[in-house]
Structure 1
Amino acid sequence: MTRKKNSGDFLKECMADALFILLRTKSIEEITVSEITALANVSRITYYRNFTSKEKVIEFKLDKLISQWIHEHPRKESASAYESSLSFFQFFYSIHDIVQTLIRANLSVMLLNRLILKFHDFNTPDRNEYYRQIFISFGLCGIILTWMDNGMKESPEQMAETVSRRFFPQPEP
């Protein structure tokens, strides 16, 4: 049973990788399911068994990457703003080709949506905390997208320093 699940994930990864390759030269509207399946070397039946749209393929890829990062870098309550920011920027640096493909394809809002769903539990009864989490999520995503769109001239370390110092200042002792 585990083997079947892993083989299904492998096929989904192949289709997602194929779609991202195609997105480098074509808009999502111009890409056909036949092109995705041919490049991924899978059948159309396999595609439709796993996905209902090209957007779902992108969501699968983003969810998988974000979940993997969250699993490998569990949130530490004792982490400083710099440490948390650095981990965040290093993650995005590691997937910059995917994010830049989304930016060029005018699909970066999909990344924002996936981040919000994965990173925060917005079901808090405290409305102020809810709005704070939304503000931070949108702000960080905007910084990430702008950084990438501008060619990532700063290192992840420089970005973490800027974000932690400017947006999460620590009071002087």
Structure 2
Amino acid sequence: MRRKNITSEMMMNYIAEGLLKLMSDKPYAKISVSDICEKAGVNRSTYYRHFYTKEDIIRYYLDGIMNSYLLKFRDSGEQTIEGYLGIMFSEFMQNKDNLLLIHREQLSYLLIDVLNKHFSVSDISDTADRFRTAYHIGGIYNDLLLWFSHGMTETAEEMVRYTLKFQIPSDVSLFRQ
């Protein structure tokens, strides 16, 4: 099915949806641009107008999750770390099936690009705040990867509790191996 009179964002969403649908039936490495175009109902020129690689499509999809999360967080008026994390983990949970597809295909590493984009360290003038933000990005990224590797069986509420229990291990022998 070919699409007409559609915005660029809509086209990009069709392409992302097409790729994710294909990934549920076929290994990512075996999915061609032609397959994606056919599934999305777009021509190759439309595909290449919006994306250079299949990884760009995955980044676009992950970016959409982050945009949705940040909008919900801003609109919530939430001021606590618990609220911030709860909204984030809930948003990721709403996208569980696609996130697990992405993780299964070993593409979760693309999430770090998206997190770095949204929590840009370079936009922060204070050096200490830049280091704290970079540390936070790494922690969130690794929590999400571990959650994905568990099949996202933990609830968003459990993820908030686990994340907030973080403390530096007092036994430094954990770091010697």
Q: Same fold (TM over 0.5)?
A: yes
- How much does 1:164 deviate? 2.1
Unaligned runs of 5+ in 2: 168-177
Structure 2 residue identity aligned to 1:99: L
SS where residue 152 of structure 2 aligns? coil
Correspondence for 2:130: 130
Correspondence for 2:66: 66
- How much does 1:43 deviate? 1.2
Which structure ranks higher in relative contact order (CA pairs < 8 Å, sequence separation ≥ 6)?
1
- How much does 1:40 deviate? 0.9
Question: 2: CA distance between counterparts of 1:56 and 1:36?
Answer: 13
Question: 1: CA distance between counterparts of 2:16 and 2:134?
Answer: 28
The answer (yes or no) to whether the contact 2:73–2:84 under 8 Å persists in 1 is no
- How much does 1:31 deviate? 1.6
* RMSD over equivalenced CA pairs, Å: 2.5
Q: Quick check: 18-27 or 127-136, which moved more?
A: 18-27
Counting aligned pairs with the same residue, the percent is 25
The answer (yes or no) to whether the contact 1:85–1:164 under 8 Å persists in 2 is no
- The count of residues paired between Structure 1 and Structure 2 equals 165
Correspondence for 1:170: none
Question: 1: CA distance between counterparts of 2:5 and 2:143?
Answer: 36
Question: 1: CA distance between counterparts of 2:47 and 2:153?
Answer: 38
Provide the TM-score with structure 2 as the length reference.
Answer: 0.81
Structure 2 residue identity aligned to 1:151: G
Unaligned runs of 5+ in 1: 168-173
Question: 2: CA distance between counterparts of 1:64 and 1:111?
Answer: 11
Structure 2 residue identity aligned to 1:95: N
Compared CA separation, residues 28 and 5, structure 1 to 2 (3 A): same
Structure 2 residue identity aligned to 1:66: M
Provide the TM-score with structure 1 as the length reference.
Answer: 0.82
The answer (yes or no) to whether the contact 1:122–1:133 under 8 Å persists in 2 is no
